Structure 1
């Protein structure tokens, strides 16, 4: 319990609020962590095949294109490793493009955005591989507990991955952001530091759209801070309850030990006086 409380308190030292522009909201929740990882990997692959070295745009939804570019259409270590390799190639391509076209502002801006997206996908994929590697260490003899390199039609037929809370948090954050664009971000530190970020993409929106996004972001900050404060209070109450329970048990154990000591022949003042009188 102490380790749990310490980990939870550490996680609460930093609050991050993101405002994201999404093309659409499906309102569908994955029925397992396996499915969530598979869907995320497919989202990454679909975004990556938009990039090519000439036109920078492919048919995003073409199934044959995905199969042509990726041999591992899975959501496990093999699938995400292939995604990382693909990202490395695209990042190198965009760096070369940026260096070769310093005067073409439209191409320069697009190449920079694509490079940032490919870098984000790579970073999140590395974190997910770390999650699966940890599972392999925890369950070395149980392949089902860490292997998620299964095709789409098998994912929902296999028992779910037995993940810990911190592992789930990594997957959930990656899924929530996905390949969408963060336009506003605010980070609040427990010591009081507040940092806000605004992207160039935000500045390209109309004034009306900007006002709407700022209002939404401010409301999210207020809600997040209220929840943050509530969690801190809950942890304080929980920690206090654990401390009281431990000290109560310690006192009870000490009392029992004292009582047991007398019955086991530990000398008392009264017994010593009786011994002197007998002599």
Structure 2
């Protein structure tokens, strides 16, 4: 008899290949305009998420400065540029460290979440992306934003908000899958994560509930660092100098998402073509980059990219077929072992 449950192995393989096939249902080709091309490969996911948070933060800081400059002219507000715009906005939105919450007087209705004291340097973590997400949302909700933001900045704002939500959701999913948090034998007063969530009503749940409860459980277990592992609450220095930091427990779909978000960053997308497996083709054009004199051969480059992608698409489908066949043979062999 095989020492592994064949039914479980088959289910795991089926789920894995379902994800692979779903990723092949469409291809997407983007033409991105960038002033400086570094030709760097994406680093490991923890570093890549830090890169994303840092780039998003930089873009939002520039937009925030333009917003305050605009308000200084139209509302006679004092125009001050703080040394740390991120920290200032974090506090304005009610995100306080434990020390700040203990020493500052703030209206209860304005109180947000308690965040790490190093959140400004842990820009790849859950707390940072929560701040970034709501910062972008505050700019999107500003009725005067078109008066002080460029078309490129207006275009990237929804991307920052939506991708931050995706990354936060990824961290929540990691916590939901974690065996330590969901151990049925867990010795904490309120039980494991699944038990705590089951006792909550939908009205009490927020997009942050899973991670917040996970951090409470880790603290109760005397393992606060386990929460840092799951939500990537690390500085660049931590990742470089500290030994023993485990890789993020990601699924294939998580890696695909991180890679795409990292590749796009806050760059301008001039053209985008999506080809669906059912034959539908969607092309989006940015009108700011349709001038042939200013951007010669842009259409040509895009068309070549689409043609190359279509050629490789059929090859990828064939590779996926071979992988599925090989996996099926392997599972069959183990079942009969």
Q: Name which of 267, 277, 283 aligns with 1:190.
A: 277
Distance in 2 of aligned mates of 1:246 and 1:136: 29
Matches within 5 A, 1:68-147: 68-70=88-90, 72-73=119-120, 74=122, 75-93=124-142, 95-98=143-146, 107=147, 110=149, 113-139=152-178, 140-141=180-181, 142-147=226-231
User: Closer, same or farther in 2 for the Cα pair 1:249/1:120, shift >3 Å?
Assistant: closer
- 8 Å CA contact 1:97, 1:111 repeated in 2: no
| Residue equivalent to 1:101 | none
Asked whether the 8 Å contact 1:41–1:80 carries over to 2, the reply is: yes
Q: Which of 290, 308, 327 is residue 223 of structure 1 equivalent to?
A: 308
Match of 2:33 in 1: 21
Q: C-alpha separation between the residues in 2 aligned to 1:11 and 1:172?
A: 13
Conservation of the 8 A alpha-carbon contact between 2:139 and 2:145: no
Q: Quote the offset at 1:149 in angstroms.
A: 1.8
Written as runs of structure 1 = structure 2, the 5 A alignment for 1:163-178 is 163-178=250-265
Query: How many angstroms apart in 1 are the aligned matches of 2:19 and 2:87?
Result: 41
Contact 2:152/2:268 (CA < 8 Å) preserved in 1? no
Q: SS of 1:49's equivalent?
A: helix
Corresponding residue SS for 1:53: helix
Higher helix share: 1
Q: Secondary structure at the match of 1:233?
A: helix
* TM-fit CA distance, 1:127: 0.2
Residues 170-197 of structure 1: CA deviation (Å, up to 9, x unaligned): 1111110010000000000111111111
Kindly tell me the number of residue pairs found equivalent between the two proteins. Answer: 236
RMSD in angstroms over aligned alpha carbons? 2.8
Q: CA deviation at 1:133?
A: 0.9
Please say which structure displays the higher CA radius of gyration: 1
Aligned to 2:288: 201
Q: Which has the higher contact order (CA 8 A, sep 6+)?
A: 2
Q: Distance in 2 between matches of 1:146 and 1:66?
A: 23
Shift in CA distance, 135/111, structure 1 to aligned 2, threshold 3 Å: same
Scaled by the length of structure 1, the TM-score of the pair is 0.74
**Corresponding residue of 1:45:** 57
- Secondary structure, in 3 states, of the residue corresponding to 1:236? helix
Residues 3-22 of structure 1: pairs in structure 2 closer than 5 A: 3-22=15-34
Unaligned runs of 5+ in 1: 57-61, 99-106, 257-279
Per-residue deviation, 1:86: 0.7
CA distance in 2, matches of 1:124, 1:222: 28
Offset of 1:97 from its aligned partner?
4.2
Deviation at 1:220, TM superposition (A): 1.2
Of 224, 230, 239, the residue aligned with 1:155 is 239
Match of 1:235 in 2: 320
Post-superposition CA distance 1:67-104 (Å, at most 9, x none): 444573221110000001111211122x3344xxxxxx
Deviation, structure 1 residue 116: 2.9
Q: Report the alpha carbon displacement of residue 33 of structure 1 after superposing the two structures with TM.
A: 1.2
